[in-house]
Every structure is written in C-alpha cells, then in structure tokens.
Amino acid sequence: MNKQMDSKILGLLNMLKGARGIAVISHVHPDGDAVGSVLGFYHFLKKIGKNTVAILKDGVPYQYSFLEGVNEVRNVLDCEGMDMCVLVDASEFARTGFEKPELPVIRIDHHKTGEFYSEHDLVITTAPATVSLILEILKRWNKDMIDEKIARMLYTGLLTDTVSFLHANSFPWAFRDALFLSSITSVEDIGSLVYERKRKAFYYLLVRALERLTFKFWEKLAYTYIKYEDFSETGASAEDTDGIVRHVISIEGVEVGVNFIEYEKGVWKLSVRGKGKIDLALLCEELGGGGHKNAAGCSIKGTLEQAVSEFLRIFDRWAKYL
C-alpha cells in the first residue's frame, strides 16, 4: 500500500467518521463488485452504529441472493437522515439511475474513467475490485469489526470482478485480499453459489446469442445481440444476460467481444470485453460510456442496425491496434 493511498484513506475516514448518516449506492444492473461493495460497507456502517441505507436501483440480482441482508437493499433514493452519499464501483452518479442528491458525495471506485465529487474520492485504478478499496478502509477503521458476513460480501465482489482470478487485475493485491477474507470465514462455496446456479432462461438466451455471432475486422471482433423480445420469449430477465459476453470473448483469435443488449426498447446496452490490445474504457467513453481497459460498456439508442453501425464506426479508428 503506498503512502499516497494511506493519506487519502485517512482523509476519507475522517469525513466518514464525522457523518451520522451515510447512504451507500452503486450502479444499475449491479455486478458482484457493486453488490459486494454496497452490502459489505453498509453492514460495517450499521455494525459500528451509523445510520445507513444501501441503495441499488435494480435491486440485487439472483446470482447474489445468497448473501445476507439482500432484503435490506432499497431501490429508491431516499436520503432522509443522511449526511453524505458514498458512490461505490461507479464512474459517475448518473450510473446509479438517480439524480445526484443535494448531499456531499464521495466516490470509491477502480474505474479508469469518470467524474470526481470530493477531494476524498478514492479512485485507484490498480485495485482489483472496488471491494478491495472498501476492505482497505474497513481495516483502517476497525479491523475487528470485519465479520464473517462482511467477509463473504467482499469476497464475492473480488471473485467476480477478477473473473475468478483469471485476469491480470488479480495480481498480487487480489490474492492478498482473498487470503485475508478467507482467514475470517469460509468462502469456498461462493464460486459455486454465484456461477453454478444459472437458470434455464440463461441458456435459452445464450443459445440465441451464439447463433447470432458475427465476426468483423479479420475475425478479431465478434459481436452478438439480445433483443427486447428475447426476454419475454425465453422467460429470461435482465440478470440472465450476465456472462454471455464471456462466451464471445472466449473464442480463439477474438480480441474484442461485444454483446448488444436491448433491456429497454430502442436502447442498446453494450457489454464489451477485450484481451488487452485496445483500451475499451477509452473506446466506450467515445460512446458516452466507460469502464476498464478489458471490460467496458456504453449505451446507444436506435435500431440494432444503427447501434451496430455506430459501434463499428468508432471501432474502425481503434482497429489498427488489433
């Protein structure tokens, strides 16, 4: 841990300690890191006697429903009694799906792109996951208060954001955190709880997505799509798209994989994954989105053809790095 981060966390801690009410919030379509960060931080704050609320506009996806306290997460932004709002694992407040409240906001995150809200924002792009930053804060605040429940929440974020320790963002910080968290409680079952409880509807969507695979740019770009109607026709919900883009990027020779998902009629949410040749956070930023170098996203309005051609138009400028 470098000195700069240490002093950053001290300033952040002073601000947190001085607040009586702290709302913890993350992005729409929350992933494991968003859920783990919100729940872990929320439970810690509650335990040390703060007034706190956990907020996720889309609630907790079923993949993470095994975590304790998921029923306490609210899907409305009610900041009554709150002195500040902590935005976790999201590059900007708009990603929460709510308007920014009239409260001081601090951002704790590891995304490369985004907005800053306070001098105490803790944005460390080398952190394996946002839960790793939460863990650093909790350790300095009161290490003894990190209990089994909190450890499981944080481990879930770590496991999923590193894609089960597959990606380079895992080393060696992620392994140190995994060691620490697994010394507090047993976490061996979490991988199976997250990844081996898929609903049949996931596979119905996956079959459609695989049938629609399209290759461009010397077969180094692969994309597929899920239409709005696919959800009702297969009985799938938004959570069932999770992991489909991994199949696209897992193809040999493919350097960038994209899933265009129409959650809302006429709005295509792009899940973009890469293997290191192109900085996808920067590419997606050109389309109003952001994320990480190898995992990013954005939204494009219009028909499928329009969304695809808009993406290809931007991609064309990056294709020289393939």
| Among Mn ion, ligand 5GP, none, residue 136 binds (CB under 5-8 Å by kind) | none
| Among Mn ion, ligand 5GP, none, residue 295 binds (CB under 5-8 Å by kind) | ligand 5GP
Sheet of strand 122-123, all strands in order from the earlier edge strand to the far edge: 51-55, 21-25, 84-88, 105-109, 122-123
In a 13 Å sphere around the CA of 23, the CA atoms on its Cβ side amount to 25
Tell me if residue 24 falls in helix, strand or coil.
strand
Q: Which is nearer to Mn ion, 161 or 240 (CB)?
A: 161
Task: Work out how close the CB of 113 gets to ligand 5GP at its nearest, in angstroms, rounded to a whole number.
Answer: 6
Task: Work out how close the CB of 27 gets to ligand 5GP at its nearest, in angstroms, rounded to a whole number.
Answer: 6
Q: What token pair was written down for 71?
A: 């029923």
Burial class of residue 95 in the structure, from the number of CB atoms within 10 Å of its CB (0-12 exposed, 13-18 middle, 19+ buried): buried
DSSP of 276-299: SSS-HHHHHHTTT-EE-SSEEEEE
List of residues contacting ligand 5GP (CB under 6 A)? 27, 29, 31, 91, 95, 111, 113, 271, 289-292, 295-299
Q: Which is nearer to ligand 5GP, 29 or 208 (CB)?
A: 29
Residues touching Mn ion, count (CB under 5 A) = 4
Task: Work out how close the CB of 30 gets to ligand 5GP at its nearest, in angstroms, rounded to a whole number.
Answer: 9
In a 13 Å sphere around the CA of 261, the CA atoms on its Cβ side amount to 23
Task: Work out how close the CB of 265 gets to Mn ion at its nearest, in angstroms, rounded to a whole number.
Answer: 28
In a 13 Å sphere around the CA of 35, the CA atoms on its Cβ side amount to 28
Task: Work out how close the CB of 117 gets to ligand 5GP at its nearest, in angstroms, rounded to a whole number.
Answer: 14
Burial class of residue 196 in the structure, from the number of CB atoms within 10 Å of its CB (0-12 exposed, 13-18 middle, 19+ buried): exposed
Q: Which position has the token pair 């919900």?
A: 237
Q: Which position has the token pair 């695979």?
A: 213
**x/- map, 165-204, Mn ion, by CB under 5 A:** ----------------------------------------
Q: Is 89 one of the binding residues for Mn ion (CB under 5 A)?
A: yes
**x/- map, 113-142, Mn ion, by CB under 5 A:** -----------------x------------
| Among Mn ion, ligand 5GP, none, residue 105 binds (CB under 5-8 Å by kind) | none
Q: Is 161 one of the binding residues for Mn ion (CB under 5 A)?
A: yes
- Between vectors from CA 244 to CA 243 and to CA 249, what angle results, nearest 5°? 95
Q: Which is nearer to Mn ion, 30 or 257 (CB)?
A: 30
Q: Is 33 one of the binding residues for Mn ion (CB under 5 A)?
A: yes
Q: Which is nearer to ligand 5GP, 127 or 298 (CB)?
A: 298
CA 162: distance to chain centroid? 11
Q: Is 285 one of the binding residues for Mn ion (CB under 5 A)?
A: no
